[in-house]
C-alpha cells in the first residue's frame, strides 16, 4: 500500500461548508488521505470557500496568495479550491490563481479521488457539475470538531428561493432533501458515540421534503430526530420566514429537547425592501409569525440576519429595520453591509446606489442597537434557572465550565465536579452582552 498522504482542510463560510468538509474528509480517508490539523505537514491543502459577500472571497484570495509562496518551498504540495467560489468562478480560478491544482464544486466531491489522481500526475483538474439529486446521504462524515458534544447533520442541499441579492442558488444549485432514514440513523450513531446536540442544516430547512416519502415534511423529520433520545438536543438552521408553519412551531413547542431558539433572518424591516429582495413576505407577515412563536413558546430565543444598504434603501426603510429589531427584541443577530454579487437579479437589474459611507453608518446603527437588545435580553435572564449542556472549559478560566442553554446562549459557571457532556441546572447571577454567568443549583 502506498504511504498515506496528509490532507489539511481549511473551511470558510457557513455551517453547511463545515459539514461538507467532513464529507470531503470521509471521501479522502477512503482513498488513503489522512486528515491532519497541522497545515505544515500537509501534502494536500483544500480550501473550502464562500462567495456570499465580496469580502468572503477576498479573504480566500489572500490565503491563496500565501499558499502560492508556500508551494515554492514545497513543490509537491497540491492545492484544491472547493465549495462556492469554485462553483462561481470555475476555470477562471485556475487562470487567476497559479497555485491552484484542483477546482471542485459542492456537488462533485465524490469525484475527488479521480481529480486528485489527475493532479498528482501534474495536470490541473476541475469538476464543477451541479447535481439535482446529490445529497451524500450514504457518506458518514469524519468529525473534525474538537468538542465531541455537538455535531451538524446536513438534511438538504441547494436553494431555489432566488432572493435577489443572493449568490447561493448559483453556487449550490437546486434544492433537494436527503433520505430521512439516513438522517435519523446518523443522529442515532452520533448519540451512541456520546454526542448530545445536533444541528440539522439546510439553506431553508422548513421546505424539507423528501421525494421518496409523501406527506413527510420538516416537522415530521424534526419530531423523528427528537425521538432518538430525550438527552439529544436538536437544533436547526436556517428557517425562511415565508415557510415557518404553525405545524413546525407546535412541533418545536411539543418536545423539550428541541431547542427553543429560532434563527429567522428578516433581512430588512421594510416591506418595500423585502419585495425588492424577493423575500416573499411583508413586515406584517413576519411580525405575525413572531407573535405566533411567542404565543406558543414565550421563552423562545429569536435571532436574525440583517442586510444594511440594499439597492434604493431610503432612510425610512432603514428606520423600519431599526424598529422591527426593537419590536421583535432579537436575542442575537448577524449583520452585514449589502455586497453586490455577480449574476444575481440585483446585480443585473438594480443599481448598487447606497454609498459605502451610508452603508457603514446604517450598519453601525444596527450593530449598536443589537448590542443593547442582546444585553437587555441577557439581563432579563438574571435570576432564571436554565439547563446547560456543558461543552468545555471557559476560555477565560480553567475553573469555569462553558456551555449553552436551550436558547443557544453561552453560560459559564464554576466547574465543581461537572464535566463535558453533562446537563447542569444553572442559576444566572450576572451577564455581559455576550455571556450569561451563573452557578449550579
Instruction: Considering the complex, state which of residue 84 and residue 104 has its C-beta at the smaller distance from ligand F3S.
Output: 84
Instruction: Considering the complex, state which of residue 82 and residue 307 has its C-beta at the smaller distance from ligand SAH.
Output: 307
Minimum Å gap between C-beta 53 and ligand SAH is 5
Minimum Å gap between C-beta 62 and ligand F3S is 17
Site residues for ligand SAH per CB under 6 A: 52-53, 165-166, 203-204, 238, 240, 265, 267, 305, 307, 336, 338-339, 341
Segment (H or E) for 326: helix 315-328
Sole window of 154-162, 178-186, 398-406, 423-431 interacting with ligand SF4 (rule: CB under 6 A): 154-162
Q: Cell numbers 451610508 correspond to what residue?
A: 358
Confirm or reject binding of residue 103 to ligand F3S (CB under 6 A).
no
User: How far apart, in Å, are the Cα atoms of 113 and each of 24, 207, 325?
Assistant: 10, 33, 48
Minimum Å gap between C-beta 166 and ligand SF4 is 3
Q: Which residues contact 397 (CB under 8 A, 6 or more apart)?
A: none
Q: Cell numbers 461543552 correspond to what residue?
A: 391
Minimum Å gap between C-beta 334 and ligand SF4 is 12
- Report d(CA 115, CA 385) in Å as an integer: 53
Site string for ligand F3S, 332-371 (x = CB under 6 A): ----------------------------------------
DSSP character string of 194-225: T--EEEEE-TTGGG-B-TTSTT-BHHHHHHHH
Q: Say which entry of ligand SF4, ligand F3S, ligand SAH, none residue 336 contacts (CB below 5 to 8 A, set by partner kind).
A: ligand SAH
Return the residues of window 126-185 that contact ligand F3S according to CB under 6 A.
Answer: 167-168, 171-172
Instruction: Considering the complex, state which of residue 175 and residue 186 has its C-beta at the smaller distance from ligand SF4.
Output: 175
SS (H, E, C) 234-287: EEEECCCHHHCCHHHHHHHHHCCCECCEEECCCECCCHHHHHHCCCCCCHHHHH
Binding test (CB under 6 A) with ligand F3S, winner from 5, 7, 9, 16: 16
For residue 38, which of 75, 79, 9 has the smallest C-alpha distance? 9
Q: Say which entry of ligand F3S, ligand SF4, ligand SAH, none residue 169 contacts (CB below 5 to 8 A, set by partner kind).
A: ligand SF4
Peptide bond into 335 cis (omega under 30): no
- Report d(CA 413, CA 431) in Å as an integer: 11
Site string for ligand F3S, 40-59 (x = CB under 6 A): ----------xxx-------
Segment (H or E) for 96: helix 91-96
Q: Are 437 and 429 in contact (CB under 8 A)?
A: yes
Q: Say which entry of ligand F3S, ligand SF4, ligand SAH, none residue 182 contacts (CB below 5 to 8 A, set by partner kind).
A: none
Point out which residues pair with 214 in neighbouring strands: none
Q: Cell numbers 472547493 correspond to what residue?
A: 82
* The three grid cell numbers given for residue 135, joined into one nine-digit string: 445529497
Diameter of the chain by CA atoms? 67
* The three grid cell numbers given for residue 131, joined into one nine-digit string: 447535481
Binding test (CB under 6 A) with ligand SF4, winner from 45, 151, 166, 249: 166
Sole window of 14-22, 31-39, 291-299, 321-329 interacting with ligand F3S (rule: CB under 6 A): 14-22
Confirm or reject binding of residue 125 to ligand SF4 (CB under 6 A).
no
Minimum Å gap between C-beta 208 and ligand F3S is 16
Residues that bind ligand F3S in the complex, under the rule CB under 6 A: 13-14, 16-17, 50-52, 83-84, 167-168, 171-172
Residues that bind ligand SF4 in the complex, under the rule CB under 6 A: 159, 161-163, 166, 168-169, 203-204, 240
Amino acid at each position: 500500500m502506498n504511504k498515506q498522504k496528509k490532507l489539511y482542510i481549511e473551511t470558510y463560510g457557513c455551517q453547511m461548508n463545515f459539514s461538507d468538509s467532513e464529507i470531503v474528509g470521509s471521501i479522502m480517508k477512503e482513498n488513503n488521505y489522512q486528515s491532519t490539523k497541522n497545515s505544515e505537514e500537509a501534502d494536500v491543502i483544500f480550501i473550502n470557500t464562500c462567495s456570499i459577500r465580496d469580502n468572503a472571497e477576498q479573504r480566500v484570495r489572500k490565503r491563496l496568495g500565501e499558499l502560492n509562496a508556500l508551494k515554492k518551498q514545497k513543490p509537491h504540495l497540491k492545492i484544491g479550491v472547493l465549495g462556492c467560489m469554485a462553483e462561481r468562478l470555475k476555470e477562471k480560478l485556475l487562470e487567476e490563481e497559479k497555485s491552484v491544482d484542483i477546482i471542485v464544486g459542492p456537488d462533485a466531491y465524490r469525484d475527488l479521488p479521480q481529480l486528485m489522481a489527475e493532479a498528482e500526475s501534474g495536470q490541473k483538474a476541475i469538476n464543477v457539475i451541479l447535481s439535482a439529486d446529490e445529497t451524500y446521504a450514504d457518506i458518514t462524515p469524519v468529525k473534525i470538531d474538537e468538542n465531541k458534544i455537538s455535531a451538524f447533520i446536513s438534511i438538504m442541499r441547494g436553494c431555489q428561493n432566488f432572493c435577489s441579492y443572493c449568490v447561493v442558488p448559483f453556487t449550490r444549485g437546486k434544492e433537494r432533501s436527503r433520505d430521512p432514514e439516513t438522517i435519523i440513523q446518523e443522529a442515532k450513531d452520533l448519540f451512541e458515540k456520546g454526542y448530545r446536540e445536533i444541528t440539522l442544516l439546510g439553506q431553508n430547512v422548513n421546505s424539507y421534503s423528501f421525494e421518496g416519502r409523501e406527506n413527510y415534511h420538516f416537522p415530521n423529520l424534526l419530531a423523528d430526530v427528537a425521538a432518538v433520545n430525550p438527552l439529544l438536543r436538536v437544533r436547526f438552521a436556517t428557517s425562511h420566514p415565508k415557510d415557518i408553519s404553525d405545524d413546525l412551531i407546535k412541533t418545536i413547542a411539543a418536545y423539550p429537547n428541541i431547542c427553543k431558539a429560532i434563527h429567522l433572518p428578516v433581512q430588512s424591516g421594510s416591506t418595500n425592501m423585502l419585495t425588492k429582495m424577493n423575500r416573499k413576505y411583508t413586515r406584517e407577515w413576519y411580525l405575525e409569525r413572531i407573535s405566533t412563536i411567542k404565543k406558543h413558546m414565550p421563552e423562545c430565543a429569536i435571532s436574525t440576519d440583517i442586510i444594511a444598504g440594499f439597492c434604493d434603501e431610503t432612510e425610512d426603510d432603514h428606520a423600519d429595520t431599526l424598529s422591527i429589531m426593537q419590536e421583535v427584541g432579537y436575542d442575537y443577530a448577524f449583520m452585514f453591509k449589502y455586497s453586490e454579487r455577480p449574476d444575481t437579479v440585483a446585480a443585473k437589474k438594480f443599481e448598487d446606489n447606497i454609498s459605502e459611507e451610508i452603508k457603514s453608518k446604517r450598519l453601525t446603527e444596527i450593530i449598536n442597537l443589537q448590542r443593547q437588545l442582546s444585553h437587555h435580553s441577557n439581563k432579563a435572564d438574571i435570576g432564571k434557572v436554565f439547563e446547560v449542556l456543558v461543552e468545555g472549559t471557559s476560555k477565560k478560566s480553567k475553573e469555569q465550565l462553558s456551555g449553552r442553554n436551550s436558547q443557544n446562549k453561552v453560560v459559564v459557571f464554576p466547574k465543581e465536579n461537572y464535566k463535558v457532556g453533562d446537563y447542569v441546572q444553572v442559576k444566572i447571577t450576572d451577564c455581559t452582552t455576550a455571556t450569561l454567568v451563573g452557578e449550579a443549583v
